[in-house]
């Protein structure tokens, strides 16, 4: 399947990135503690498919728990544009915020396949019983 280079940004525009996404790659939503708070809607790629176009210094980092994953956000506007890290058994990844992709139409975003994960119960391979709030 063909990968397309997409661009994304935070609300104020300070943070900008490019990501190579397969057209029909699944996106993910999860009910873990941070994904549910942020309503993070992610598209995960290998790190070499992601390019931060702006200055790392404009990101404020956030980590919690086992510190496998970074949840950086724009230091100006607070938008979470991606998460990144390395999870044992899964490998290194960047999960870009689908909501922050600038060149997908609302129709395209709405048609993206979504895979739900029950992260709250550490059951990442299955969807939670309730997903409508995610
Ligand atoms: Zn910003």
Domains, the chain: 3-120 (2.170.150.70)
What separation in Å is there between the alpha carbon of 89 and the centre of ligand 1? 32
How much distance in Å is there from the Cα of 75 to the middle of ligand 1? 7
Residues whose Cβ atom is located within 5 A of ion ligand 1: 10, 12, 14, 74, 76-77
Helix, strand, coil share (%) of the chain residues, nearest 5 = 20, 40, 45
Q: How many CA atoms lie within 13 A of 39 on its CB side?
A: 7
Contact 60, 97 (CB under 8 A): no
Q: How far is the CA of 122 from the centre of ligand 1 (A)?
A: 31
**Ligand 1 centroid distance, CA of 77 (Å):** 4
Q: Ligand 1 center to residue 134 CA distance, Å?
A: 23
Q: Indicate if the alpha-carbon torsion angle 97, 99, 101, 78 is positive or negative.
A: negative
Among residues 36, 34, 33, which one has the least CA distance to residue 132? 36
CA 44 to ligand 1 centroid distance, Å: 21
Residues 6+ apart with CB under 8 A from 130: 31
User: Measuring CA to CA, how many Å separate 119 from each of 11, 31, 47, 106?
Assistant: 27, 5, 22, 27
How confident is the prediction along the chain (134 residues), in pLDDT tens digits per residue? 578 999 999 999 999 999 999 877 789 999 999 999 999 999 999 999 999 999 999 999 999 988 889 999 999 999 999 999 998 888 999 999 999 999 999 999 999 999 999 989 988 889 999 999 99
Could you tell me where the DSSP H helices lie in 6-117? 33-38, 106-111
């Amino acid at each position: 399947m063909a990968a397309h280079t997409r661009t994304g940004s935070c609300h104020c525009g300070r943070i900008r990135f490019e990501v190579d996404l397969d057209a029909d790659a699944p996106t993910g939503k999860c009910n873990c503690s941070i994904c549910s708070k942020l309503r993070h809607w992610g598209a995960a790629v290998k790190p070499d498919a992601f390019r931060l176009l702006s200055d790392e210094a404009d990101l404020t980092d956030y980590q919690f728990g086992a510190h496998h994953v970074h949840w950086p956000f724009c230091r100006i506007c607070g938008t979470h544009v991606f998460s990144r890290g390395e999870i044992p058994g899964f490998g290194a990844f960047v999960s870009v915020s689908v909501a922050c992709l600038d060149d997908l139409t609302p129709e395209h975003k709405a048609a993206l396949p979504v895979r739900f994960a029950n992260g709250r119960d550490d059951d990442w391979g299955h969807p939670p019983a309730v997903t409508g709030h995610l």
